[in-house]
Amino acid sequence: MILSSRIDTPIGPLVLLAREGILLMLEFEDAEPRIEREMNTRFRGEGHQPTDDPFGLASRIRSYFAGDLSAIEGSDTDGGGTEFQKRVWAELKRIPCRVTISYAELARRLGDPKAVRAVGTANGRNPIAIVVLCHRVIGADGSLTGYGGGLHRKRWLLVHEGALLDV
């Protein structure tokens, strides 16, 4: 059974879905089309049971927002996806806190420097915000580009983590 929770954060409510201790989805509540797509395709309309803190995962997210940046490290995740997407998402989880990398660097780390667009597409399809660290990927020129939750949230997360100055 899928357990769900709604988590209030400084940058908007998050919807969390988990099963057997594994984080399946973490999306901003206002991303209704993305949430609906996941529910209808990936989970095929499977129901979910609302609860306060499925498997302690909501507590870990709250701790992260309260300043314990390491609270989300080591969380088991399963975002579904293709084999390529899984490789991209696994590499995203390896980006250290307070560090940003470019899409080109991410492609290079995956062994295919020419796959920048494919990496960007996979990054954008990541259904597990914050924990699968897609917000730590920026443009080659240092600009904040592409984030499903909105660039204002990406900026907030990077400032929160100390990867960007609050200017």
Would you give the DSSP letter of residue 52? S
3-class DSSP string for 33-84:
HHHHHHHHHHCCCCCEEECCCHHHHHHHHHHHHCCCHHHHCCCCECCCCCHH
- Which residue is catalytic, options 18, 31, 134, 138? 134
Q: Edge-to-edge, what's the strand order for the sheet holding 14-19?
A: 22-28, 14-19, 2-7, 48-50
DSSP state of 95: S
Q: Give the Cα separation of 32 and 113 in Å (integer).
A: 33
3-state class (DSSP) for residue 102: strand
Do the strands 14-19 and 2-7 form a parallel or antiparallel pair, or are they unpaired? antiparallel
Catalytic residue flag (residue 97): no
Is 75 within 8 Å of 92 (Cβ atoms)? no
Indicate which residues carry an active-site annotation: 134
